[in-house]
């Protein structure tokens, strides 16, 4: 049972450039990201991610959390539109699709699930890109985990956070 969040950031913490993460990522990051998502039972994203990223085709069911109907529903037969909170969506996705979930949404979705202590693993990639939007302090994200493994490949730094730190609520 794993809830794995994936996020790519530029060296300055930017999560997008010109509205998409495609311009922040690197080929090795994309390769690892696609391999990881194929091992999951379902993917969860937010409405902004659905509007700005490419989700017309996914290897597993895609749950989109949004108050407005996402247009990707017309292109991806595996897409589902849910007007649920992220916490409720994780529970529903586990029940409907299986226990291994890929969280591919933006920082709002990931932060809410980190605060709820529902993310068991964080896959964070740092590329050399600078000058984008929606800057994130990646150290704040990694602070939610006891164990951090770091690896650098092809000018991309990969951080894997595991063993979430349990806090009293």
For 83-115, the pLDDT digits (tens) are 999 999 999 999 999 999 999 978 899 999 999
Q: What is the mean pLDDT of the chain?
A: 93
pLDDT for 168 equals: 66
Q: Which residue has the higher pLDDT, 129 or 21?
A: 129
pLDDT for 34 equals: 93
Q: Are 146 and 165 in contact (CB under 8 A)?
A: yes
Q: pLDDT band for position 80 (50/70/90)? A: very high
What are the angstrom distances between the C-alpha of 79 and each of 12, 58, 63, 167?
32, 8, 6, 34
How many whole angstroms separate alpha carbon 43 and alpha carbon 97? 10
Burial annotation 93-105 (CB, 10 A radius, 16+ → b, else e): bbeebeebbbbbb
**Eight-state DSSP code of residue 135:** E
In this structure, the dihedral spanned by the alpha carbons of residues 72, 78, 79 and 85, taken in order and rounded to 10 degrees, is -160
What is the C-alpha R_g of the chain?
15
How many whole angstroms separate alpha carbon 42 and alpha carbon 7? 16
What are the angstrom distances between the C-alpha of 14 and each of 17, 41, 56, 98, 129?
7, 28, 24, 32, 8
What are the angstrom distances between the C-alpha of 53 and each of 13, 18, 84?
18, 11, 20
CATH homologous superfamily, domain 2-164: Dihydrofolate Reductase, subunit A (3.40.430.10)
pLDDT for 142 equals: 96
Question: Residue 144 has which token pair?
Answer: 């939610």
Q: Are 56 and 76 in contact (CB under 8 A)?
A: yes
pLDDT for 169 equals: 58
The pTM (predicted TM-score) of the whole model is 0.92
Above 80 in pLDDT, residue 18? no
Q: Which residue has the higher pLDDT, 151 or 16?
A: 151
């Amino acid at each position: 049972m794993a809830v794995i969040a994936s996020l790519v950031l530029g060296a300055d913490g930017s999560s997008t450039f010109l509205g998409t993460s495609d311009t922040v990522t690197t080929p090795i990051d994309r390769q690892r990201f696609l391999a990881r998502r194929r091992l999951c039972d379902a993917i969860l994203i937010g409405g902004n991610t659905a509007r700005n990223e490419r989700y017309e085709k996914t290897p597993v069911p895609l749950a989109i959390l949004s108050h407005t109907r996402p247009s990707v529903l017309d292109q991806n037969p595996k897409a589902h539109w849910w007007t649920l909170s992220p916490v409720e969506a994780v529970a529903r996705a586990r029940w409907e699709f299986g226990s291994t979930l890929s969280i591919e949404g933006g920082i709002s979705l990931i932060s809410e699930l980190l605060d709820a202590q529902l993310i068991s693993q964080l896959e964070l990639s740092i590329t050399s890109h600078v000058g984008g939007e929606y800057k994130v302090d990646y150290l704040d994200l990694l602070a939610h985990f006891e164990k951090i493994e770091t690896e650098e490949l092809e000018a991309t730094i990969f951080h894997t956070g595991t063993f979430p730190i349990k806090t009293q609520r």
